[in-house]
Amino acid sequence: MQTSKVVLVTGASSGFGRETVSLLSQSGFRVFGTSRKPSGSETRAGVEMVQLDIDSDESVSRCVNTVQEKAGHVDVLVNNAGYVLTGGIEETSIEEAKAQFETNFFGAVRMTKAVLPTMRKRGSGQIVNISSLVAVLPVPFEGYYAAAKAALLAYSEALRHEVKSLGVKVSVCRARVLPYQSCTN
């Protein structure tokens, strides 16, 4: 009996993440969604919610361990969690800018580092990083958001080359406003 692929989606409580877990669940995948504070209101049919704060090494480790204990492994990681920091570059504090990078860039890095060892060991896996159109076409008052998403784009491209021979695929999607979306493998 063949089992469904196991997908872990960060930031599944709203927006793209919420829609992604619904679509994947309806398509027959075993789906784990994450949220900082999972609640009953986030429950979706066919989606197992797990607590995760992507800014915390310990939380990332706990989340990935929980999924691996329940499902045995992770076939696909979708790094979707993040937020938009809006404001003029001059008026944005260094602390606010660091927080933007901590979540939108280093959060994806943490998650990737947590799932890569088992993907490498199994010789297969898929990592999907959700960037943004502003990574390539920055707009005023979202400079730090654009910079963090551009860093994620560059990281994803480099990672793709590093893990390709290990059987792990890396995709990056530059989503901003539906229906426009661009993903590369």
Q: In what order do the strands lie in the sheet with 183-184?
A: 47-51, 30-35, 6-9, 76-79, 125-130, 168-173, 183-184
Tokens of 108: 């994806």
Among 33, 64, 61, 55, smallest CA distance to 103 is for: 55
Tokens 């979202």 appear where? Answer: 142
Angle in degrees, 0-180, between the axes of helices 57-71 and 107-122, rounded to the nearest 10: 30
Q: What is this structure's pTM?
A: 0.92
pLDDT tens, residue by residue, 88-115: 999 999 999 999 999 999 999 999 999 9
Catalytic residue among 144, 145, 155, 156: 145
Tokens 């943490």 appear where? Answer: 110
Catalytic residue among 13, 25, 35, 132: 13
Catalytic residue among 5, 132, 149, 156: 149
Q: Is the pLDDT of residue 1 over 50?
A: no
Give, in order, the Cα–Cα distances in Å from 49 to each of 37, 136, 185.
10, 32, 27
The pLDDT value given to residue 53: 97
Distance from C-alpha of 129 to C-alpha of 34, rounded to nearest angstrom: 15
Of residues 147 and 37, which shows the higher confidence score? 147
pLDDT tens, residue by residue, 124-172: 999 999 999 999 999 999 999 999 999 999 999 999 999 999 999 999 9
Catalytic status, residue 131: yes
pLDDT tens, residue by residue, 76-93: 999 999 999 999 999 999
Catalytic residue among 25, 35, 131, 156: 131
Distance from C-alpha of 15 to C-alpha of 11, rounded to nearest angstrom: 8
The pLDDT value given to residue 178: 43
Q: What is the DSSP string of 28-48?
A: T-EEEEEESS--GGG--TTEE
Distance from C-alpha of 183 to C-alpha of 138, rounded to nearest angstrom: 18
In the chain, % of residues over pLDDT 70: 91
Catalytic status, residue 149: yes
Assign domain 6-184 to a CATH class.
alpha beta
- Would you place residue 29 in the very low, low, confident or very high pLDDT band (cuts 50, 70, 90)? very high
